[in-house]
Amino acid sequence: MKFEKKRASTKQEIPTASMPDIIFMLLLFFMVTTTLREVEVLVNYSLPEAKAIEKIENKRLISYIWVGKDGRVQINDSLVKLDEIQNIMYAKRQALPNVIVSLRVDKNSDMGFVTDIQQELRKAYCLRINYSANVKI
């Protein structure tokens, strides 16, 4: 007796024509839902250039302080005064104990002002800082 498998007479093919559409849909979905947390920078600044720079691997730990050409200071999304820095940064440090503060300071700022900010950071115990700089070619 011969055994014969019963085969369905229907087509055995997966329709692949719509596959790219599905992938594009996925791509679009991720493109739309992903938000690169981008803070709107309200101050105008240009960074100094340096050679001996290191990259910060852990982007999650960074918190920024911007200092503009006109000496305005921005943290998060708002401009702050010098004496407010301590409280803001202290709260940040409590939320994230090993926070790295990236100082994006305009290259023509006065050192005295930068030192004042550093003093505030020291009072807030944010001791790991990073002077943001562009790579010198």
Nearer to another protein, 77 or 110 (CB): 110
Nearer to another protein, 4 or 21 (CB): 21
Q: How far apart are CA 129 and CA 102, in angstroms?
A: 6
Structure tokens at 39: 């803070």
Closest separation between CB of residue 110 and another protein, Å?
A: 6
Q: Are 87 and 93 in contact (CB under 8 A)?
A: no
Closest separation between CB of residue 22 and another protein, Å?
A: 8
Closest separation between CB of residue 115 and another protein, Å?
A: 6
Identity (one letter) of the amino acid at 123?
K
Backbone angles phi, psi at 59, to 5 degrees: -70, -25
Contacts 24+ apart (CB under 8 A), 75-81: 76/39, 77/39, 77/40, 77/42, 78/42, 79/42, 79/43
Give contact residues for another protein (rule: CB under 8 A): 16-17, 19-20, 22-24, 27, 36, 48, 50-56, 59, 62, 100, 102-103, 105-112, 114-115, 118-119, 121-123, 125-136
Nearer to another protein, 2 or 33 (CB): 33
Closest separation between CB of residue 75 and another protein, Å?
A: 16
